[in-house]
């Protein structure tokens, strides 16, 4: 088969890092990067770190509004896919790159495989929700990571081509988890950060790890709310280490909103370092779907800085370690206090890391097998 894979963001590169070697072992893959994440810390360095092939086509669309980004991708993708004429176009997740890839493929009457299909937050204010719904209804194959995702598709009348395959991100986390268990990796991260982490002591259970990147959390009121929340839950002895998305940093600076003295800002980290910072933290605070899942697989307490989540199984199966708190300071503080005695001591964190045995889901092999069956 000739397969075109469309990526553009950091989470999509993570998923492609699992699927690409399996595809290329038996098929011809055309790798297309829209450049939606154009900062090297967000995406560029991931290609080398995760062993991905260099893209065959790079659109370089860069930043802008969701509409502007998507429009540029549509214009850039159409001649590429028209010339390549793949047997299937693979799109991942719920980004503007996902939407653009699915729309162009549908217009060219090319079969579409949507990886990570069926997820729903049931909040149409989120651009990601719109993107994933459209991609699901255009797709020939909808590869769902969870039973809830399969049920969501069925409720919308999508039943043909649906397959429960597991989660590609779990496969990559399982592959790399052994390499982040030793807390000595924190010293390695500190040394690499250098002056960017001046005065920060990374020790197991001695910090909270946070990420904030969603569009809704770049609005002025939301920025004030999560900045206050991070300041409230952090202390000198247990600071928040915030890996700050470049777009969020720009919004924060534009509003002139400062972060508390116990919030340590660092750049977005490579994949392995991000796993390590989660695993050895007292808890994770995030609005990222990917980080939510990683925290769940690693067994780390996680506060979700959104009002809804599409990863219901992760919350339900966490034994109370994963909680949706939105931007409510009181709720976040209360949940961390609840977790403090059982999940946040240094001994517990060290034992958690040492005992980690994360199993892959087998999603990559299941996806390749389904595509091969469908092409016969």
In this predicted model, what pLDDT tens digit does every residue of 115-130 receive, in sequence order? 999 999 999 888 899 9
- 213 tagged catalytic: yes
> 67-96: buried (b, 16+ CB within 10 Å) or exposed (e) per residue?
eebbebbbebbbebbeebebebbbbbbbbb
Phi and psi (nearest 5°) for 276?
Answer: -65, -45
Residue 208: its H or E element: strand 208-212
Question: Binning pLDDT at 50, 70 and 90, where does residue 339 land?
Answer: confident
Structure confidence at residue 36 (pLDDT): 83
Name which of 10, 314, 47, 288 is nearest 167 in CA terms. Answer: 314
Query: If you search the block for the tokens 């060290």, which residue do you land on?
Result: 350
In eight-state DSSP terms, residue 199 is T
Phi and psi (nearest 5°) for 181?
Answer: -75, -35
Question: Binning pLDDT at 50, 70 and 90, where does residue 44 land?
Answer: low
Q: Distance between CA 131 and CA 128 in Å, rounded?
A: 5
Q: Which is the catalytic residue, given 37, 213, 245, 280?
A: 213
**pLDDT score of 42 more than 60:** no
Name which of 55, 266, 297 is nearest 175 in CA terms. Answer: 297
- The range of the structural domain enclosing residue 163 comes to 2-167+361-375
Structure confidence at residue 247 (pLDDT): 85
Residues 132 and 192 grouped into a single domain: no
Residues 103 and 180 grouped into a single domain: no
Q: 5-14, 195-204, 325-334: which has the minimum mean pLDDT?
A: 195-204
**pLDDT score of 46 more than 80:** no
Average pLDDT over residues 51-57: 94
Residues 223 and 93 grouped into a single domain: no
Return the percentage of the chain with pLDDT > 90, whole number.
79
Residues 216 and 311 grouped into a single domain: yes
Q: How many domains does the chain have?
A: 2
Phi and psi (nearest 5°) for 114?
Answer: -100, 110
Average pLDDT score, the chain: 93
Residues 152 and 284 grouped into a single domain: no
**pLDDT score of 236 more than 70:** yes
Average pLDDT over residues 281-302: 95
Q: 0.85 exceeded by the pTM?
A: yes
Question: Binning pLDDT at 50, 70 and 90, where does residue 40 land?
Answer: low
Q: Distance between CA 267 and CA 273 in Å, rounded?
A: 11
Q: 158-167, 251-260, 360-369: which has the minimum mean pLDDT?
A: 251-260
3-state SS class at 368: helix
Residues 86 and 55 grouped into a single domain: yes
Sign of CA dihedral 187, 192, 195, 197: negative
Residues 148 and 196 grouped into a single domain: no
Residues 255 and 343 grouped into a single domain: yes
**pLDDT score of 351 more than 80:** yes
Structure confidence at residue 328 (pLDDT): 97
- In the chain, DSSP finds a helix count (H) and a strand count (E) of 16, 13
CATH number where 133 lies: 3.40.50.2000
Which are the contacts of 83, defined by CB distance < 8 A and separation ≥ 6? none
Q: Distance between CA 127 and CA 124 in Å, rounded?
A: 7
Give tens-digit pLDDT for 148-157.
Answer: 999 999 999 9
**pLDDT score of 342 more than 60:** no
Q: Report the relative pairing of strands 240-244 and 208-212 from DSSP bridges.
A: parallel
Structure confidence at residue 64 (pLDDT): 79
**pLDDT score of 168 more than 90:** yes
**pLDDT score of 62 more than 90:** no
Note whether 104 and 85 are within 8 A (CB): no
Residues 118 and 241 grouped into a single domain: no
Question: How many Cα atoms occupy the beta-carbon half-sphere of 321 within 13 Å?
Answer: 23
Residues 214 and 258 grouped into a single domain: yes
Residue 366 to residues 50, 160, 229, 272: CA-CA distances in angstroms?
21, 16, 41, 25
Return the percentage of the chain with pLDDT > 70, whole number.
96
**pLDDT score of 182 more than 90:** yes
**pLDDT score of 2 more than 60:** yes
Q: 139-148, 157-166, 339-348: which has the minimum mean pLDDT?
A: 339-348
Residue 341: Cβ within 10 Å count = 9
Residues 128 and 240 grouped into a single domain: no
Structure confidence at residue 66 (pLDDT): 85
Q: Distance between CA 346 and CA 353 in Å, rounded?
A: 11
Residues 140 and 287 grouped into a single domain: no
């Amino acid at each position: 088969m000739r397969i075109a894979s469309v990526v553009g963001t950091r989470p999509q590169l993570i998923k492609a890092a699992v699927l690409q070697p399996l595809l290329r072992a038996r098929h011809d893959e055309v790798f297309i990067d829209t450049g939606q994440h154009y900062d090297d810390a967000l995406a560029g360095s991931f290609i080398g770190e995760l062993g991905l092939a260099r893209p065959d086509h790079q659109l370089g669309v860069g930043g802008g509004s969701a509409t502007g980004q998507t429009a540029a991708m549509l214009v850039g993708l159409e001649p590429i896919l028209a010339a390549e004429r793949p047997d299937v176009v693979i799109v991942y997740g719920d980004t503007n790159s996902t939407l653009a890839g699915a729309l162009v493929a549908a217009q060219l009457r090319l079969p579409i495989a949507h990886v990570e299909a069926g997820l729903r937050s049931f909040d149409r204010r989120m651009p990601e929700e719109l993107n994933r719904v459209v991609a699901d209804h255009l797709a020939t194959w909808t590869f769902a990571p969870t039973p809830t995702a399969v049920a969501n598709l069925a409720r919308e009348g999508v039943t043909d081509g649906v397959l429960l395959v597991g989660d590609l991100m779990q496969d990559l986390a399982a592959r790399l988890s052994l390499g982040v268990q030793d807390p000595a990796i924190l010293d390695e991260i500190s040394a690499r950060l250098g002056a960017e982490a001046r005065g920060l002591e990374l020790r197991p259970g001695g910090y909270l790890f946070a990420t904030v990147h969603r569009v809704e959390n770049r609005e002025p009121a939301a920025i004030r709310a999560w900045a206050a929340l991070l300041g409230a839950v952090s202390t000198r002895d247990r600071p928040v280490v915030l890996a700050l998305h470049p777009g969020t940093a720009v919004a924060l600076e534009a509003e002139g909103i400062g972060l508390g003295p116990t919030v340590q800002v660092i750049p977005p980290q490579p994949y392995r370092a991000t796993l390590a910072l989660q695993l050895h933290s007292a808890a994770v605070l995030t609005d990222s779907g990917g980080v939510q899942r990683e925290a769940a697989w690693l067994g780390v307490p996680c506060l979700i800085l959104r009002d809804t989540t599409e990863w219901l199984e992760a919350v339900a199966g966490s034994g109370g370690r994963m909680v949706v708190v939105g931007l409510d300071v009181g709720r976040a503080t209360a949940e961390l206090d609840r977790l403090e005695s059982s999940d946040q001591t240094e001994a517990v964190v060290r034992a958690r890391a040492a005992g980690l045995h994360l199993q892959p889901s087998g999603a990559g092999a299941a996806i390749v097998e389904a595509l091969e069956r469908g092409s016969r």
